[in-house]
A and B are shown apart, each in its own frame.
Chain A
């Protein structure tokens, strides 16, 4: 343990910029590092990522380890696990934090097994235990019905953190830090996967994760046409449409609109939940909303337990009248 020192975050770079989740991880990592009285490191891995190293410092890192190589242009489990294994063995941090993103959820577990340690996925809180100085990982389990706190005595202690669960620090360009380059040492033949194509689903309008208002539909919407009605309401509210799992599995709404444990995590000012019962796995994706409105014909629906406002009734009668009134009010 003595040789394991410092907190490392795994940084992601999207389109040449530090990803939002990375600033959140640096905010969380800074606090943990200060609690331990140790340094905060950022690992930046990819192709053409060096330019963002100073950004990582501005958001809280003391040292940035950069592994920049054309071989790392695309994410591959084989190459990224092998590079991170090398970085960890060289830097020996006691904590490693990643985002619960498509990269983080693939990289963290496999890296943990490779390093003979453990990972906790999708954490909502990370704290240092005042006695043992070990990391306490709090994460939702049973689809959000409960939360569990885990700890372990193998190093590094690896965690992934849910998007938007942590706050970034104020950007401070005057912060000082050190940038260190690490060679990849990769054997290209050890990469057993090939990325043939990256398909980006273009969803018109405001991105679900960024929207201030979200209108979510559930099983009770019943059809793709029903979702068009929700779309109209969302448009008037300058918001976005989302869905629980059944509409996605039935093809009424594209997969990218799924809100929940295995979909998007949203934190709008207002979430209007229409004809959805509020299963735990859906709630886990929308419970960060500031206000929730529920419209459901079942007064016993679980969603009413979380909602601030509710109407018990058939959405087909309620939504058109609600949409008209909102349009009228917003035009005033």
Chain B
């Protein structure tokens, strides 16, 4: 089973909201000192999905990451979790893309890898929350796709995928090769083991430039964007919280109930 997982380095979504700032002149996020980037959590779960299949029946996992200023200690994490290879699409020409240009470049890189049965992506990245790149890669490569998966089982040349729906899940069978996007319901990704960390130290990522994957320069990064960002802003919250107090927690609780009644909320 040859598997490919696409991962993205993002601003840590668990960082305190107070640390998040936007420059409304440049329409860019201001990096907060002390907040380190991470792999987008859904992408880490995509790595976990591939590792579970590798545990069950063996296989090879190639991880691809597109971006700029990629930190080795961040993007190498899948290797220390148990993935086999890491390919970086790192070049200024790939920067400032949107779902379109990113999916195109990743699809071209996957074409170059050539031999694959399954491609995994996170259901969406935690920065732009678009949730389109997986479907885009599948369309460029002409592959079937199943999005928002919580469980994947492989039997022969098919995958059985539990796809999360609005009120439960569907069990979907899809022929391979296929692309699957993974949701958080899959469960927590594993921690890297010491052995994994040592092994990953010896592995060097392979970097591919635009010319290496035979892309049309007009279709990647900022040049290939279909969408333009008009404005990026932080919505104002104007709520003033009334803190309800009491001699004891129990009394505060009673006072809260009385207050809600008084204000006709109950």
Contacts and interface: CB of A to CB of B under 8 A. Distances in A.
Nearest to A197: B171
B127 A142 contact: yes
A: contact size bracket: 35 or more
Interface centre among A119, A146, A291, A319 (most CB of B within 10 A): A146
Contacts of A140: 129
Contacts of B253: 311, 317-322, 325
A193 B245 CA distance: 57
Interface in B2-56: 11, 13-14, 16-18, 20, 22, 29
Contact of A318 (B164, B175, B249): B249
Interface in A149-205: 149-152, 154, 192-201
Contacts of A105: 131, 147-148
Contacts of B135: 77, 106, 109-110, 113
Interface string B117-142: 00000011011111110111011100
B218 interface: no
A178 to B, nearest CB: 31
Is chain B's interface secondary structure helix, strand, loop, or mixed overall?
Answer: mixed
Nearest to B45: A249
Contact of B144 (A122, A192, A269, A304): A192
Interface string B150-170: 100000000010111111111
A228 interface: no
Contacts, number: 250
A236 to B, nearest CB: 10
Contact of A192 (B134, B147, B175): B175
Interface string A279-312: 1110100000001111000000010111111111
Nearest to A327: B257
A302 to B, nearest CB: 5
B91 to A, nearest CB: 23
Contact of B166 (A101, A261, A309, A313): A101
A102 B130 CA distance: 14
B230 A110 contact: no
Nearest to B139: A113
Interface centre among A193, A283, A322 (most CB of B within 10 A): A193
Given A113-B136, A145-B20, A305-B241, A122 B129 contact: yes
29 contacts: A77-B144, A113-B140, A117-B226, A118-B98, A118-B226, A121-B124, A139-B129, A141-B128, A142-B128, A146-B233, A148-B232, A154-B226, A193-B146, A194-B173, A199-B170, A200-B167, A201-B168, A269-B265, A279-B14, A280-B20, A292-B239, A293-B260, A302-B16, A320-B253, A321-B251, A321-B253, A322-B253, A329-B261, A329-B266
Interface of B: 11, 13-14, 16-18, 20, 22, 29, 98-100, 103, 123-124, 126-132, 134-136, 138-140, 144-148, 150, 160, 162-175, 178, 183-185, 187-188, 226-235, 237, 239-245, 248-254, 256-261, 265-266
Given A110-B138, A305-B241, A326-B266, 19 more contacts: A106-B147, A106-B148, A110-B136, A122-B129, A139-B129, A141-B232, A143-B126, A145-B17, A149-B231, A192-B174, A192-B175, A199-B171, A256-B167, A302-B18, A305-B239, A309-B241, A318-B250, A322-B253, A322-B254
